[in-house]
């Protein structure tokens, strides 16, 4: 008899999530009584709105606590279709929608459904930490497209074209972006779409920060541009950031029926349905009036402007003004520290937590989150400024 006690090869290339680890560390230190200012937060600081909580409480009270269809309840899938139509000019039928346990899960499912061993997935860098790792888990190869600060961290269609090979399968696009806050406009998306259609490349469009967008800009869904790109795109969104529902774990995707059937099958044999109670809460959230976001967005824009006004005066740091999401991606190369050392020392010596850029493919950067109240942002900026004066 042969006994093999080795773990599967699958996870050998995969690193743990630096964003989750740092957030957990900051929360732990805070719970232990240390006065930490959390600039690492990857979630909005406001509470889930009461009308959403009430829908979940009703669901529990009325016994809506059993399995639902794998891809989500018909009620929620209809609400998602309405949302796509209302906010994104996207026509999806309920059978094209799969609701999952967070947008992270939706992206993972999409990669599982599309990527064969050795297929290349194009990822603009800096990127959100999980994209390359998920690609590895799916036996794909991440291929990075360098997005330069001179172009506001956006790739152009030329940059994209240069990285296409016979193995290219998909492009992972994230607008507004985590960690850079860049936002692609309609023209830029149009040019990217043209190449993807010409080369038959799938697009996984992660639109989770859609509602957090500043300077009067509007969000454009790449799939809404024309029929051809619609057929190749998996549009991913979720409730975590826009409704402050990170713990409820609801994300969703809209795609061709072929892709959504494959994703649904995968979910049948992995998680089954997302939590029934969260699904009821999600229906309430998605059916709420759109002006709900205006106030939140205004508040986040104020915070961004405050942080920028402070960071501009710190001569060891430079940055590109983010147009969306709630992060400022700061170039720290003038301090001569790598991002891990910078973040570690800042936490130890000044009690401010940030996320090192290494996890985002940019080791000369750190990510500062402004998902925090103004008072905390003020103290954090004071500490950062004082600490930087050492260099």
Conformation bin of residue 250: beta by default, left when phi > 0, alpha when psi is -120 to 50: beta
- Write out the binding residues for ligand PMP, residues 35-64 only, by CB under 6 A: 42
| Residue appearing with tokens 């194009």 | 122
Rounded to 5°, angle at Cα 20 from 234 and 336: 105
| Count of positions on this chain that bind ligand PMP (CB under 6 A) | 13
Q: Is the peptide bond before 278 cis (omega within 30 degrees of 0)?
A: no
- Write out the binding residues for ligand PMP, residues 261-320 only, by CB under 6 A: none
φ, ψ for residue 171 (rounded to 5)?
A: -120, 130
Q: Is 208 in the site for ligand PMP (CB under 6 A)?
A: yes
- Name the minimum Å distance from CB 238 to ligand PMP: 4
The token duo for 71 is: 């891809």
| Residue appearing with tokens 């003020």 | 378
Q: Which is nearer to ligand PMP, 92 or 209 (CB)?
A: 209
- Name the minimum Å distance from CB 208 to ligand PMP: 4
Q: Is 185 in the site for ligand GLU (CB under 6 A)?
A: no
Q: Which is nearer to ligand GLU, 179 or 254 (CB)?
A: 179
- Name the minimum Å distance from CB 26 to ligand GLU: 11
Q: Is 15 helix (H, G, I), strand (E, B) or coil?
A: coil
Query: Residue 174: which of ligand PMP, ligand GLU, none does it interact with, CB under 5 to 8 A by kind?
Result: ligand PMP
**Span of 14-22, 152-160, 308-316, 334-342 interacting with ligand GLU by CB under 6 A:** 14-22
Q: What is d(CA 156, CA 174) in angstroms, rounded to the nearest whole number?
A: 14
Query: Residue 17: which of ligand PMP, ligand GLU, none does it interact with, CB under 5 to 8 A by kind?
Result: ligand GLU
Please, how many CA atoms are within 13 Å of residue 384, restricted to the half-sphere of its CB? Answer: 28
Q: What is d(CA 368, CA 385) in angstroms, rounded to the nearest whole number?
A: 13
Q: Which is nearer to ligand GLU, 329 or 342 (CB)?
A: 329
- Name the minimum Å distance from CB 46 to ligand GLU: 16
Please, how many CA atoms are within 13 Å of residue 40, restricted to the half-sphere of its CB? Answer: 29
The H or E element spanning position 143 is strand 141-146
Q: Is 20 in the site for ligand GLU (CB under 6 A)?
A: yes
Q: Among residues 59, 103, 189, 266, which is the contact residue for ligand PMP, using CB under 6 A?
A: 103
Q: Among residues 174, 177, 178, 180, which is the contact residue for ligand GLU, using CB under 6 A?
A: 178
Query: Residue 206: which of ligand PMP, ligand GLU, none does it interact with, CB under 5 to 8 A by kind?
Result: ligand PMP
Other CB atoms within 10 Å distance of the CB of residue 319: 21
Rounded to 5°, angle at Cα 198 from 200 and 89: 80
For the chain, how far is it from start to end, CA to CA, in angstroms?
62
- Name the minimum Å distance from CB 129 to ligand GLU: 6
- Which positions lie near ligand PMP, rule CB under 6 A? 42, 102-104, 128, 174, 178, 206, 208, 238, 240, 246, 251
- Which positions lie near ligand GLU, rule CB under 6 A? 17, 19-20, 42, 104, 129-130, 178
């Amino acid at each position: 008899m042969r006994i093999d006690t080795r773990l599967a090869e699958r996870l050998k290339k995969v690193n743990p999530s630096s964003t989750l680890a740092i957030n957990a560390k900051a929360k732990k230190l805070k719970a232990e009584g240390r006065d930490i200012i959390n600039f690492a937060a990857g979630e909005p600081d406001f509470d889930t709105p009461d009308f959403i909580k009430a829908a979940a409480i009703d669901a529990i009270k009325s016994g809506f606590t059993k399995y639902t269809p794998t891809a989500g309840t018909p009620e929620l899938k209809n609400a998602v279709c309405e949302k796509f139509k209302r906010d994104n000019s996207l026509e999806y039928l309920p059978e094209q929608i799969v609701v999952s346990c967070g947008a992270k899960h939706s992206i993972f499912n999409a990669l599982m459904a599309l990527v064969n061993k050795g297929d290349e997935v194009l990822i603009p860098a800096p990127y959100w930490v999980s994209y390359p790792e998920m690609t590895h888990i799916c036996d794909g190869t991440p291929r990075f497209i360098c997005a330069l600060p001179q172009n506001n961290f956006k790739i152009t269609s030329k940059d994209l074209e240069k990285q296409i090979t016979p193995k290219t399968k998909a492009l992972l696009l994230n607008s507004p972006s985590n960690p850079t806050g860049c936002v692609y406009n309609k023209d830029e998306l149009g040019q990217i779409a043209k190449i993807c259609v010409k080369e038959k490349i799938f697009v996984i469009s992660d639109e989770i920060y859609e509602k957090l967008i500043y300077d009067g800009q509007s969000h454009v869904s790449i799939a809404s541009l024309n029929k051809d790109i619609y057929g190749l795109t998996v549009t991913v969104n979720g409730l975590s950031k826009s409704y402050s529902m990170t713990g409820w774990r609801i994300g969703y995707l809209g795609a061709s029926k072929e892709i959504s059937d494959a994703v649904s099958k995968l979910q049948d044999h992995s998680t089954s349905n997302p939590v029934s109670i969260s699904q009821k809460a999600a229906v309430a959230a998605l059916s709420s009036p759109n002006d709900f976001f205006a106030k939140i967005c205004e508040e986040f824009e104020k915070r961004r402007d405050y942080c920028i006004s402070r960071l501009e005066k710190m001569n060891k740091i430079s940055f590109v003004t983010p147009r969306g999401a709630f992060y400022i991606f700061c170039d720290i190369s003038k301090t001569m520290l790598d991002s891990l050392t910078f973040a570690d020392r800042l936490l130890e010596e000044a009690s401010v937590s940030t996320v090192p850029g290494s996890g985002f493919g940019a080791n000369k950067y750190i990510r500062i989150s402004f998902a925090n109240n103004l008072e905390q942002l003020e103290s954090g900026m004071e500490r950062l400024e004082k600490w930087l004066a050492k260099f």
